[in-house]
Amino acid sequence: MPPLRKLHHLTGHEAAVFALCPGFSHGKVLSGGGEGWIVEWDLEHPELGRLIARVETQVFSMAALPEHRMVVAGNMHGGVHWIDLDHPEATKNIAHHQKGTFAVLPVAEEVFTVGGEGRITRWAAPEGRTIESMYLSNQSLRSLAFSAGRNELAVGASDNSIYLLDAATMEIKHRIEAAHASSVFSLQYAPDDNYLLSGGRDAHLNGWSLNGDPQKIHSQPAHWYTINAIQFHPDGSSFATASRDKTIKIWDASDLQLLKVLETVRDQGHIRSVNALCWSPHRELLVSAGDDRSLIVWGE
């Protein structure tokens, strides 16, 4: 993978940026912030951020549904916003989770959300109708990932566990207890579905073999503080981690060895916690967002 350098510094949010996701067309990225703004950025002209929606409180999580021109956003109070960009009058704000909606994940014509009360919910998209809910824990559910090849959901919890669920039935296939020493804040399946990566509030990066019962195959103290996000490069050869320690780290996907650190002073990186990552196939650009109210675009 070519070395990354800072290409653009995007400002405009008036509070911390907690969420990033691919936008509605090639080269577009959406960001969600603590002031309730959802902004669309064009990576060809990144200085032109465009406010496309606003909610009444902090956006903690977010996903775009391009085929429906909708954004699903989770807020700090546990609400789930179904934002119809073409028909704003049809937008729904549903009070559903408690203590925060921490992850939103679209899978085909459904959307999964997890919240602070320990519940995972399957929704029908685009109507924003709940299909089923299940409590996995008496503590917060913090992260979500999906493997199409395994038809499986991974859920990270504040009870230090990772839950593996059948995506069709929501049946619990495995519970990995004590997966981390504290909350599991980030999860990502490898593109070949052979292993699962997890990042915790304990700052450790763990790898889990998925052949048979899950087995820990890798563990290292990857950052100084919480690992907030994990994202694979579009070609699957590497992945990035983002942390409350203000850094982004790039890792080799084949052996989980560190390749690069993007930091505050040397690389003109974030000056506060890095909360979210989005790796766009468009020119293979990495977008990061953090508590410093800004986004940074990294590339060759």
- Whether the pLDDT of residue 145 is over 80: the answer is yes
pTM over 0.85: yes
Q: What angle do CA 296, 297, 299 make, to 5 degrees?
A: 140
- Whether the pLDDT of residue 282 is over 80: the answer is no
Beta bridge mates, 251: 239, 258
Question: Which residue's structure tokens are 């490069």?
Answer: 233
81: Cβ contacts below 8 Å, ≥ 6 apart? 55, 71, 72, 73, 74, 75, 91, 92, 93, 94
User: In the chain, what are the domains?
Assistant: 5-299 (2.130.10.10)
- Whether the pLDDT of residue 283 is over 90: the answer is no
The two structure tokens encoding residue 67? 């085929």
Please give the biggest Cα pair distance in the chain: 50
Overall average pLDDT of the 232-259 stretch: 97
- Whether the pLDDT of residue 33 is over 80: the answer is yes
What's the mean pLDDT when you consider all of the chain? 96
**Burial degree of 275 (CB within 10 A; 0-12, 13-18, 19+):** buried
Numbers of helices and strands, H then E, in the chain: 0, 28
For residue range 177-200, what is the model confidence (pLDDT) as tens digits? Answer: 999 999 999 999 999 999 999 999
For residue range 58-107, what is the model confidence (pLDDT) as tens digits? Answer: 999 999 999 999 999 999 999 999 999 999 888 999 999 999 999 999 99
Distance, in Å, from the CA atom of 295 to the CA atom of 282, rounded to the nearest integer, reads 16
Q: What is the DSSP letter of 119?
A: E
Cis-peptide, bond into residue 106, ω within 30° of zero:
no
User: According to the model, what pLDDT value does residue 203 have?
Assistant: 98
Overall average pLDDT of the 34-62 stretch: 95
User: According to the model, what pLDDT value does residue 48 have?
Assistant: 82
